[in-house]
Amino acid sequence: MALVYSTESGRLCEGCEYPINQCCCQAKQAPENDGVIRVQREKKGRAGKTVTVISGLQGDKKVLSDLCKKVKKRFGCGGAVKNWNIELQGDLAEQSVKYLEELGHNAKQSGG
């Protein structure tokens, strides 16, 4: 059984068993995908509030954070990076696809 917490250093990475802030394994890298950024609306499990989820992005957390910051500033909304996805508050799927294409990404709208 792998150690996941130490009282000396706090939470440990499951891959390399180093403290999270000193992790050296591939767990920090985004999962592999087909190179298409998918943008979709979600309401489920969010008390009826609509969010826009942008998934399929390449790069590390810094790249995702920078892109999230640009998109939030462009649309004047809130949002965050969660589980290698960018979640934006509000129904911004169509505008996000257009903006991502302007930035040179291969983006498409998915879902209903």
Residues 15-27 have pLDDT tens digits of: 677 776 667 665 5
Q: Residue 60: what pLDDT?
A: 80
Give CA 6 to chain center in angstroms. Answer: 28
| 2 Cβ neighbours under 8 A, 6+ residues apart | 14, 17
pTM summary value: 0.71
Residues 31-76 have pLDDT tens digits of: 566 789 999 999 888 888 999 999 998 878 888 899 999 999 999 9
Fold of 31-109: Translation Initiation Factor Eif1 (3.30.780)
CA atoms of 40 and 61, how far apart (whole Å): 21
pLDDT at residue 94 tops 80? yes
Residue entry with tokens 């950024």: 37
Tell me the sheet residues that pair with 87. Answer: 53, 80
Domain ranges of the chain: 1-29, 31-109
- The three-state secondary structure class of 65 is helix
